[in-house]
Structure 1
Amino acid sequence: MSKQKQHKNKPKSMIQRLITIVCLVIFIASAFYLVDALYDYYTNRQVLADIQDVYRESKEDEIEIGPTDSVATIRSSFRDILAINSDIVGWVTMDGTMVDYPILQAEDNAYYLQRNYKEEDSRAGSIFMDYRNDITQQDRNIILYGHNMKDGSMFGQMKRFLDEDFLQEHQHFYFDTLYGSYEVEIFSVYHTTTDFYYIETDFPNDESYRTFLDDIKKRSEVTTDIELNAEDQIITLSTCDYLLDPNEGRLVIHGKLVKQN
């Protein structure tokens, strides 16, 4: 090969090497990110499994003792997990999904966004109740938030309820607070954006609340036969979703609370 050809090929060779190096760096960075994410998922599941064991054992003891009639008395099933974190206000369980988690509540809606119940930094965060809600009161709309995690944890499997067949088999889930136990009847599931204010907790009168209930029921992308009136208390589950908007998109589930003995 002549020196002239070698000179012409040299820039091309350097570009090819540079491209190879860039691709290698991207591959290593992607692999590191994937391993880091998988480790976070694994750690999160282990941390949650620990408190699930404590709660299940305490709940079994509560069943043996029997329920309390006093609203002011914290249920025995929560005493052990409250010793772990006094910000725990309840527990949510949804059959057919991974949802079986403690509910946290702080003085704002940011604290548990990236923290687990141990108050450690966590990509998955926690399931947390809107800071405006008060579990000692009869708030008309109790709101729970959770991340839409890719491994299906937290509220990552809420989209399953958009399937009519799945919803028919799992139209009820369970919501426990420090003071009471509820079965939840799902009546609406839909995509929206933050432009629609579905997280209202305070309504000036029955008429405005009925209007709100009619609106959120009409938005449902699945059909339900749950009847609602102004005396009903509801719970709202909210998670991020990218169907309508990459930043402001949300997936929402609404359910009617039915108090259990």
Structure 2
Amino acid sequence: MAKKPRRKWTLRRKVLFCLLLVLDVVLIGAALWFWFDRMGQEQTVADQVTQAQTHVEAGTADTPPKVDWAALKAENPDVCAWVQIPGTPVNFPVYQGETNDTYLRTGADGNYSLGGLIFIDSQNTGPDLTDQQTMVYGHHINSQDPASSMFAWIDTYNDQQVFDEHPLVWWVTEQQTWRLTPLYSYVLPETDHMEVPLSWPTEQEFRDYLRHDLSIAETSRPDADAVIDATDRVLTLVTCNYDKYGRGRTLVVCVPQQTVDEASRTPAA
């Protein structure tokens, strides 16, 4: 059988081949640039977190974190709290900006930061749980380094075993130290502007709101309904969720441990 004659490399084919080769090189170069840039940004986030942690003696299951507020405020006066969940990567300073965009992509040094900072809602009165609900936001960074993953670990509270194994959240401010316990976690679809109330006209409306969210919870305490009856304030940790809705938000609602203790002492009706 006669061999088919090889097609000649015309000028057009040569030009097309060269263009495709250049395009491949450009795409590979761009991918590598984005990868190295991402790694560099994650390292910057980790470095800032590590720097902040030098001013804190980490807490344990029995003792809260000890914070050098003067040192932290010298780096950024907007720092207002420290949050730690013992036995997890969550061990971060918390800030409050003029708006909820202030620290969305800005680090403690005022420069752009992929991970931003952990921050409370700009509309909250302050960090001392004065409002019925204090909202705490943090990015979910898919990073191998826990220091740069920010609030990514919070998303694992949607697993009941993880929820049960981590019943303590330390919340420390200059004025107070709170020992909190997660009440339940739930997931909401992402919206452009997630508006969650910080206060309600009556205590009953506040508790009705909590019960509604408990009805859609992924995980919860077995006595959550009874604890809600004794609850007058909550701290809610918020991060992105990429599992249930493709892209949504995980919210972990926490209450002071004393509220749980009071609920356990209240006889059933």
- Which TM bucket (shorter chain)? 0.7 to 0.9
Q: Partner residue of 2:161? A: 165
Residue from 177, 180, 183 that aligns with 1:187: 183
CA contact (8 A) 2:231 2:255 kept: no
Q: Partner residue of 2:263? A: none
Provide closer, same or farther for how the CA distance between residues 191 and 12 of structure 1 changes in structure 2, counting only shifts above 3 A: farther
Does residue 233 of the first structure (1) align with residue 225 of the second (2)? no
Q: Partner residue of 2:83? A: 92
CA contact (8 A) 1:180 1:259 kept: no
Equivalent AA in structure 2 for residue 228 of structure 1: I
Secondary structure class of the residue paired with 1:111: coil
TM-score (norm 2): 0.80
Q: Deviations over 1:180-199 (max 9, x none)?
A: 11122112212212569662
Secondary structure class of the residue paired with 1:175: strand
Secondary structure class of the residue paired with 2:156: helix
Gaps of 5+ in 2: 260-269
1-side partners of 2:94 and 2:212: how far apart? 27
Q: Partner residue of 1:121? A: 112
Q: Deviations over 1:66-110 (max 9, x none)?
A: xxxxxxxxx974232122221111011123432111100011111
Gaps of 5+ in 1: 64-74
Equivalent AA in structure 2 for residue 91 of structure 1: W
CA contact (8 A) 1:128 1:146 kept: yes
Residue from 216, 221, 229 that aligns with 2:218: 221
Does residue 140 of the first structure (1) align with residue 132 of the second (2)? yes
CA contact (8 A) 2:155 2:239 kept: no
List 4+ stretches of structure 1 deviating above 4 A: 194-198, 244-247
2-side partners of 1:244 and 1:162: how far apart? 10
CA contact (8 A) 1:145 1:239 kept: yes
Q: CA RMSD in A?
A: 3.0
CA contact (8 A) 2:168 2:179 kept: yes
In the alignment of these two chains, the number of paired residues is 243
Equivalent AA in structure 1 for residue 135 of structure 2: I
Provide closer, same or farther for how the CA distance between residues 213 and 4 of structure 1 changes in structure 2, counting only shifts above 3 A: closer
Secondary structure class of the residue paired with 1:148: coil
1-side partners of 2:13 and 2:130: how far apart? 72
Matches within 5 A, 1:33-72: 33-56=34-57
1:155, CA displacement in angstroms? 0.9
2-side partners of 1:53 and 1:138: how far apart? 29
1:202, CA displacement in angstroms? 1.4
TM-score (norm 1): 0.82
CA contact (8 A) 1:206 1:230 kept: no
2-side partners of 1:198 and 1:182: how far apart? 25
Paired-residue identity, %:
21
1:223, CA displacement in angstroms? 3.5
